[in-house]
Amino acid sequence: MGLKNKVALVTGSTSGIGLGIARALAAEGASVMLNGFGDAGEIEALRVSLEKEFSVKVAYYDADLSKPDQVAGLVQKTQDKLGGIDILVNNAGIQFTAPVEEFPEAKWDAIIAINLSAVFHGMKAAIPAMKKNKWGRIINIASAHGLVASPHKVAYVAAKHGVVGATKVAAVETANDGITVNAICPGWVLTPLVQKQLEDRAKEAGTDVDTEKKKMLQETQPMLKFSTPEEIGALVVFLCSDGAATMTGAPISIDGGWVAH
Ligand code: NAD
């Protein structure tokens, strides 16, 4: 229970990696603000079940992170409902794939807004309170695609490289304020975001999802298995611990060896 009395905001935590992170932080005793889209009834059931399972306060706010004022509003709501903001995990993200010359402008704008600009707006809104407390942990969920490219992902790769850059700047600026700012760079994690890509690939190649899973891993990851939301959650917990007090400005790979080769 190393994070008792800490308040964490995890964006995009109604699903996938964000939910894994929210669970890991709640298991350590942190109060958690959930955010993301989904069925209202299911999200309320999730909120209540996390409160019961971990005996912590869990709130939810349905801010749309493509809107800068709603990102700031989400940080404010976290402070109002849970009494502060100690940990900010910028996790919400979307994907779209197409070659550069066919990539729709609206998709570019949406990916840059949610995957990159929301990270800036979130950090801008949260850092003043963290400075006041002389303690803060910001963890930005980038990607292996924050460090290397793949075809057909121009907006995603640009946004994730931007997240790594913004992480470094915020880390340098807050280095003596008790705040650390790091980026996690996962490889493949089997979530709804990746499931959609697998289904698209299977349709295009005339194969099935299981075949595409194997091919997807073989293309990029020497370790032929997916990372899990639980593993990403455990890394976030470590970054919030005293053991990571001097780790800042780092892109941290958890990718089965993807960017090592
Ligand atoms: P996911 O689709 O399972 O979850 C995305 C979450 O973001 C959901 O809760 C969704 O509701 C929320 N979201 C989307 N648009 C939003 C908006 N406008 N406002 C508020 N919330 C919004 O995806 P995931 O795979 O868990 O991805 C989470 C993060 O991890 C993303 O930033 C993604 O780029 C990154 N990532 C994923 C993988 C992977 O293999 N799955 C690898 C590297 C990085």
| Tens-place pLDDT, residues 194-225 | 999 999 999 999 999 999 999 999 999 999 99
Ligand 1 pocket: which of 11, 13, 14, 15 to mutate (most atoms within 8 A of CB): 15
The encoded tokens of residue 40 equal 């209202």
DSSP structure string for 123-143: HHHHHHHHHHHT-EEEEEE--
Strand partners of residue 98: 153
Ligand 1: which atom is nearest the Cα of residue 13?
9
From the alpha carbon of 38, which atom of ligand 1 is closest?
Answer: 11
Task: Note the pLDDT tens digit of each residue in 16-71.
Answer: 999 999 999 999 999 999 999 999 999 999 999 999 999 999 999 999 999 999 99
Ligand 1 within 6 A of 20 CB? Answer: no
Contact call for residues 140 and 126 (beta carbons, < 8 A): no
Which residues contact residue 195 at a Cβ distance below 8 angstroms, ignoring those fewer than 6 apart?
A: 209
